[in-house]
Structure 1
Amino acid sequence: MLVDHDVPTVLGRLRVRVDGDGPAMLMWPSLLMDGRLWAAQAAHFAGRFTVLVVDPPGHGDSEPLTRGFSFEECATVIEQVLDHFGVTRAHVLGNSWGGMIGGTFAALHPDRVGVSVLMNATATTAGRYQRIEYAAMLRTARVLRGIRPPLTRSVLKAFLGPTTLRTRGDVVRTVRASLSRVDMTSATWAVRSVVPERPDQRELFARITTPVLVIAGAEDATFPVAENRAMADAIPGADFVVIDGAAHLAALEVPDQVNALVDDYLARHPLDM
């Protein structure tokens, strides 16, 4: 059973849920999502690992954000979480925002990371259309005082592809519930930091020396396959996989496939943790 812990960090108090025993595995989700994104992974890996499921800054039960942040600060947050639990090294699973930060952490703190699994992410700056799209979303959300209809449909289409929208009603309901819990002040700071202000990390990622698996969703409209592939190409020795029928939240949409890919990658890269 996941147990709640509050961890002080440079970006405020973070809610981290912990279960299992063994080497550590930290999980960081997408913008507008909380640690519930990783429910299937936490259940699957807790039998062999100590899973550390993060509600990222300003999301879920973590303390609201009062300012923007850099990706380096997010990497420091991961370091502080590991320090809090006395963990020397951890495998890192990240989705979207979590995938970008997972790469930052691997580049800056190679001695603290085992395997990194970076899903539905990017290493480049936001294009003009994406900056305009997210600025419009924030304006609409402020008017609606939250992510509510009709905005909900637009966000669902950014996160979920046609296969999930058509056949995975439980996933759609989970994402709707997460969106309904979003604190818009915190989300505004986070979106600005992760979308229009995000850095080009390709040069930084070229310094990564630890094993990395990059996973793309074939139906991801936010970070299409080519963008994920470009991130994998920037990381020396990275493996790259595309999952059919998945979009921007692969860990939630196709958990069994993601778990199997992670299991296989860990088996092929055994580490003394």
Structure 2
Amino acid sequence: MPSIRIDDVDLYYQLDGDPARPALLFSNSLGTDLSMWDAQAAALAEDFHVLRYDTRGHGRSPVGREAVTLGRLGRDVLALLDRLDIARAHFCGISMGGMTGQWLGIHAPHRFDRIVLANTAARIGTAEGWHMRAGQVRREGMAGVAEGAAGRWFTPGFVAGHAAGVARMTARLREQSPEGYAGCCDALALADLRASIGAIPNPVLVIAGRHDPVTTVEDARQLGAGIRDARVEVLEASHISNLEAPAAFTAALRSFLQQ
């Protein structure tokens, strides 16, 4: 399967659809991999050239030697586009991927058309909380984090009704590199874009999950209010809204990108 050398890592990626179509790039959340976008890739590959990748330290992309920062994650995206000769793309990122999207909108808006920021915020959590989680996984591995993931990611009703799918997601989390996960926790500890998001000129769709305990609807509204050309859409879902409400998520995404 394909990977591209970007500085200190071989970044794993997947392409679907016709290269003549507009490019659409998906960025995964903390503790997941590009497979989280399977439903969206399948639905949108007829209309877009869909590019997915595993964030460094996740899935099949190794950790690398360089300390992870939000800027490093953003530069990985730009280098991936460069290596694949994609001049411009739409962007859709969820949670940590949404923070990467904000950084790109601030620092490289000319490389993107429309930007979708799902289940994210300009500041997620606290530095203390992220450093504590990073320390936990470095000491104990991924088991403790995976234990409570379903409750952070999905509503109780979805967990009860989709036990097999939820189990696959948590199993993937257990398999993630502890150092890769911890490094991204360190990056999120330092990531605060509240004073910068007003510089994003791109049209932006902010997607929130009504029942999301991690990045709340209020977080989404604050993000939307801080970006000059943004609107907010709230789905009946929790934190991983593209999996809990795939049809609604894909419909909102398609409608926004085709405007």
Instruction: Choose from 144, 150, 154 the match for 1:156.
Output: 150
SS in 2 for 1:229: helix
Normalising by structure 1, we get a TM-score of: 0.88
- Work out the CA distance in 2 between the residues paired with 1:139 and 1:108: 30
1:46 corresponds in structure 2 to: 45
Decide whether aligned partners of structure 1 residues 65 and 162 sit closer, same or farther in structure 2, where only a CA change above 3 A counts: farther
Q: Residues of 2 paired with 1:185 and 1:62: CA distance? A: 12
**Aligned pair 1:185/2:182, yes or no?**
no
1:185 partner amino acid? E
**Cα pair 2:122 2:194 within 8 Å, conserved:** yes
State whether structure 2 residue 3 is matched by structure 1 residue 6: yes
The question of 1:86 aligning with 2:85 is answered yes
Q: How many residues align?
A: 257
Residue correspondence of structure 1 range 6-85 to structure 2 within 5 A: 6-10=3-7, 12-21=9-18, 22-85=21-84
Give structure 1 stretches of 5+ with no counterpart: 269-273
Residue 140 of structure 1: CA displacement?
A: 4.2
Post-superposition Cα deviations, 1:158-182, rounded to whole Å, max 9, x if no partner, equal 2222232222224312311211211
Distance 1:135 1:72, change over 3 A: closer
CA distance in 2, matches of 1:262, 1:125: 23
Q: CA RMSD in A?
A: 1.8
The sequence identity of aligned pairs, in percent, is: 27
Code of the residue aligned with 1:90 in structure 2: it is: A
Contact 1:161 / 1:221 at 8 angstroms: preserved in 2?
no
Residue 78 to residue 143, structure 1, CA distance change in 2 (3 Å):
closer
Structure-1 separation of matches of 2:10 and 2:42: 24
Preserved contact between residue 69 and residue 186 of structure 2 (Cα < 8 Å):
no
Distance 2:145 2:109 in 1: 40
Report the CA distance shift for 1:126/1:55 in structure 2 as closer, same or farther (over 3 A): same
Structure-2-length-normalised TM-score: 0.92
1:72-221 aligned at under 5 Å gives the runs: 72-124=71-123, 126-127=125-126, 131-132=128-129, 134-144=130-140, 146-148=141-143, 151-194=145-188, 196-198=189-191, 200-221=192-213
SS of 1:264's equivalent in the other structure is: helix
Q: Aligned partners of 1:108 and 1:99: how far apart in 2?
A: 14
- Mapped to 2, the partners of 1:142 and 1:101 lie a distance apart of 23
